[in-house]
Structure formats: structure tokens, C-alpha cells
Amino acid sequence: QVQLQESGPGLVKPSETLSLTCSVSGGSINTYYCHWIRQPPGKGLEWIGYVYYIGSTNYNPSLQSRVTISLDTSKNQISLKLSSVTAADTAVYYCARSPSLYYAQIWGQGTMVTVSS
């Protein structure tokens, strides 16, 4: 059974870079799309972007200048970096894997990141 697990610092200072890792177990990321989605406390979902297993990426235009998504197929891991964070970036961050570009088939449990000094 495929499982995804997000990990990283739970607290990031304003203006610094948020860095998260998504580890995939029980399956591969080869031939799959891996997405990052976030959810501010008490609010809805926002798509951040994706990386395809060959390394191509696509980002939400509202975040494009600050976000980088990459993968390490040898470790079966996907990473997210979001620079120059502010309080507005406080959210639960989810990674998701899918055979399709158009939907997220399997989600991680999410990790809460708070931006505060």
C-alpha cells in the first residue's frame, strides 16, 4: 500500500525559506505526478505545483516566483522549497501522488508549518 509522509520544520521565521520533504513508501514515483497542496488553518485547499517523474515542473502563478519542487527518484522523495515566507504561508502542506496530471490519487497526512518570529 502506497503511503506518503511529509516532513520538515514546523516553524519557519518570516523571510526565510520553507523546506519540506515528501517520502513515498510502498510504491515508486516513477511514471507519476507528485503535487504539493496547502491548506491555511480553517480555510480551503490551494494547489502549489507539481513535478513529473522526468523532472518537469509547473507552479501556481501566484507562487511561481518563490517556489521550487524537485524530486530524487533514487530516494523516492519529493521536495518543496518556498522562499521569502510570510504569515500568509502558514498552512498544512500536503504532498500527493497521481498517475494523472488532473487529480491527486493518494495524499500524505500533511504537515503543519507556522511562519512566525
> Which parts of 81-100 interact with other proteins (CB under 8 A)?
94, 100
Decide: is 23 part of the binding site for other proteins (CB under 8 A): no
Nearer to other proteins, 15 or 64 (CB): 64
Q: From CA 55, how far away is CA 12, in angstroms rounded?
A: 27
Decide: is 112 part of the binding site for other proteins (CB under 8 A): no
DSSP per residue, 83-98: -S--GGG-EEEEEEEE
Q: From CA 15, how far away is CA 10, in angstroms rounded?
A: 15
β-bridge mates for residue 80, sequence order: 20, 69
Beta carbons within 8 Å of 27's beta carbon, 6+ residues apart = 2, 97
- Shortest distance in whole angstroms from residue 14 CB to other proteins: 24
Residue choice 31, 56, 65, 102 for contact with other proteins (CB under 8 A) = 102
> Which parts of 27-66 interact with other proteins (CB under 8 A)?
35, 37, 44-47, 49, 58-61
Binding-site ranges for other proteins (CB under 8 A): 35, 37, 44-47, 49, 58-61, 94, 100-110
